[in-house]
Amino acid sequence: MSNYFLINPKEERLNQLREEALNQMKQEFFLMEFDGIKRAVKYFKIIRKKRIGGTSDFYDLAINALEKQIPQKPHEHYHWGEFTKEEKLENNQWFCGKCGWQIGEEDNYCNECGQRVDWS
Protein backbone atom coordinates (compact mmCIF):
# COMPACT_ATOMS: atom_id res chain seq x y z
CA MET A 1 0.00 0.00 0.00
CA SER A 2 1.36 3.38 -0.98
CA ASN A 3 1.81 6.20 1.54
CA TYR A 4 1.64 8.76 -1.27
CA PHE A 5 -1.87 9.96 -0.36
CA LEU A 6 -1.35 10.05 3.40
CA ILE A 7 -1.17 13.51 4.93
CA ASN A 8 1.98 14.33 6.85
CA PRO A 9 0.91 15.52 10.35
CA LYS A 10 3.62 18.18 10.43
CA GLU A 11 2.56 19.52 7.05
CA GLU A 12 -1.08 19.48 8.11
CA ARG A 13 -0.23 21.45 11.27
CA LEU A 14 1.78 23.97 9.22
CA ASN A 15 -1.17 24.46 6.88
CA GLN A 16 -3.45 24.96 9.88
CA LEU A 17 -1.08 27.54 11.38
CA ARG A 18 -0.85 29.37 8.02
CA GLU A 19 -4.64 29.47 7.79
CA GLU A 20 -4.94 30.80 11.36
CA ALA A 21 -2.30 33.48 10.68
CA LEU A 22 -4.06 34.52 7.48
CA ASN A 23 -7.40 34.80 9.27
CA GLN A 24 -5.80 36.86 12.05
CA MET A 25 -4.23 39.22 9.50
CA LYS A 26 -7.58 39.63 7.70
CA GLN A 27 -9.27 40.51 11.01
CA GLU A 28 -6.55 43.03 11.89
CA PHE A 29 -6.79 44.72 8.45
CA PHE A 30 -10.58 44.77 8.83
CA LEU A 31 -10.28 46.56 12.19
CA MET A 32 -7.58 48.94 10.90
CA GLU A 33 -9.82 49.94 8.00
CA PHE A 34 -12.66 50.93 10.30
CA ASP A 35 -10.36 52.64 12.78
CA GLY A 36 -9.17 54.81 9.89
CA ILE A 37 -12.76 55.61 8.93
CA LYS A 38 -13.61 56.50 12.52
CA ARG A 39 -10.58 58.82 12.70
CA ALA A 40 -11.63 60.49 9.43
CA VAL A 41 -15.17 61.03 10.76
CA LYS A 42 -13.76 62.60 13.93
CA TYR A 43 -11.47 64.82 11.84
CA PHE A 44 -14.32 66.02 9.60
CA LYS A 45 -16.48 66.78 12.65
CA ILE A 46 -13.70 68.94 14.11
CA ILE A 47 -13.27 70.80 10.81
CA ARG A 48 -17.04 71.25 10.47
CA LYS A 49 -17.21 72.95 13.87
CA LYS A 50 -14.49 75.41 12.86
CA ARG A 51 -16.05 76.27 9.48
CA ILE A 52 -18.65 79.01 9.09
CA GLY A 53 -21.13 79.19 6.25
CA GLY A 54 -22.51 76.72 3.74
CA THR A 55 -19.37 74.60 3.47
CA SER A 56 -20.44 72.54 6.50
CA ASP A 57 -22.97 70.80 4.23
CA PHE A 58 -20.06 69.20 2.36
CA TYR A 59 -18.55 68.00 5.63
CA ASP A 60 -21.91 66.57 6.72
CA LEU A 61 -22.12 64.70 3.42
CA ALA A 62 -18.61 63.29 3.87
CA ILE A 63 -19.30 62.33 7.50
CA ASN A 64 -22.53 60.53 6.57
CA ALA A 65 -20.84 58.64 3.73
CA LEU A 66 -17.95 57.57 5.97
CA GLU A 67 -20.23 56.52 8.84
CA LYS A 68 -22.20 54.25 6.49
CA GLN A 69 -18.99 52.32 5.81
CA ILE A 70 -18.72 51.31 9.48
CA PRO A 71 -20.75 48.08 9.60
CA GLN A 72 -23.73 47.80 11.92
CA LYS A 73 -25.30 44.55 13.00
CA PRO A 74 -28.78 43.94 11.58
CA HIS A 75 -31.79 43.39 13.82
CA GLU A 76 -33.46 40.02 13.64
CA HIS A 77 -37.23 39.85 13.79
CA TYR A 78 -39.56 36.91 14.21
CA HIS A 79 -43.19 36.98 13.21
CA TRP A 80 -44.35 35.45 16.50
CA GLY A 81 -42.41 37.48 19.06
CA GLU A 82 -39.10 37.11 20.84
CA PHE A 83 -37.49 33.67 21.05
CA THR A 84 -34.39 32.27 22.71
CA LYS A 85 -31.57 31.00 20.52
CA GLU A 86 -32.88 27.46 20.98
CA GLU A 87 -36.35 28.51 19.80
CA LYS A 88 -35.31 30.44 16.69
CA LEU A 89 -37.39 29.75 13.63
CA GLU A 90 -36.19 29.37 10.07
CA ASN A 91 -38.57 32.04 8.73
CA ASN A 92 -36.88 35.02 10.32
CA GLN A 93 -36.40 38.47 8.84
CA TRP A 94 -33.47 40.89 9.09
CA PHE A 95 -33.67 44.66 9.34
CA CYS A 96 -31.04 47.39 8.90
CA GLY A 97 -29.51 48.51 12.20
CA LYS A 98 -29.65 52.16 11.09
CA CYS A 99 -32.94 52.73 9.24
CA GLY A 100 -34.94 49.57 10.00
CA TRP A 101 -35.45 48.61 6.33
CA GLN A 102 -35.79 44.87 5.66
CA ILE A 103 -32.61 43.31 4.25
CA GLY A 104 -31.75 39.86 2.96
CA GLU A 105 -29.08 37.61 4.42
CA GLU A 106 -27.05 38.01 1.22
CA ASP A 107 -27.05 41.83 1.39
CA ASN A 108 -23.84 43.54 2.44
CA TYR A 109 -25.47 46.99 2.32
CA CYS A 110 -28.96 48.26 3.11
CA ASN A 111 -30.84 49.01 -0.11
CA GLU A 112 -32.65 51.93 1.55
CA CYS A 113 -29.95 53.93 3.34
CA GLY A 114 -26.68 52.36 2.11
CA GLN A 115 -25.48 51.30 5.59
CA ARG A 116 -22.87 48.53 5.53
CA VAL A 117 -24.12 45.38 7.29
CA ASP A 118 -22.03 43.38 9.78
CA TRP A 119 -23.05 39.70 9.54
CA SER A 120 -20.32 38.45 11.91
Q: Along the 120 residues of the chain, how does pLDDT read in single tens digits?
A: 455 566 677 778 777 877 887 777 777 666 677 788 888 888 878 877 776 555 667 778 888 888 888 888 998 875 555 666 666 555 568 899 888 888 988 899 999 999 999 988
Report which secondary-structure segment, H or E, holds 11.
helix 9-50
pLDDT at 6: 66
pLDDT at 78: 56
- CA 104, CA 86: separation in Å to the nearest integer? 22
pLDDT at 8: 76
pLDDT at 111: 92
pLDDT at 109: 92
pLDDT at 64: 86
* Contact predicate 47/59, CB 8 Å: yes
User: How far is the CA of 1 from the CAs of 6, 10, 100, in angstroms?
Assistant: 11, 21, 61
Compute CA 73 distance to the chain's CA centroid, rounded to the nearest angstrom.
Answer: 7
- CA 94, CA 112: separation in Å to the nearest integer? 13
pLDDT at 81: 57
- CA 120, CA 97: separation in Å to the nearest integer? 14
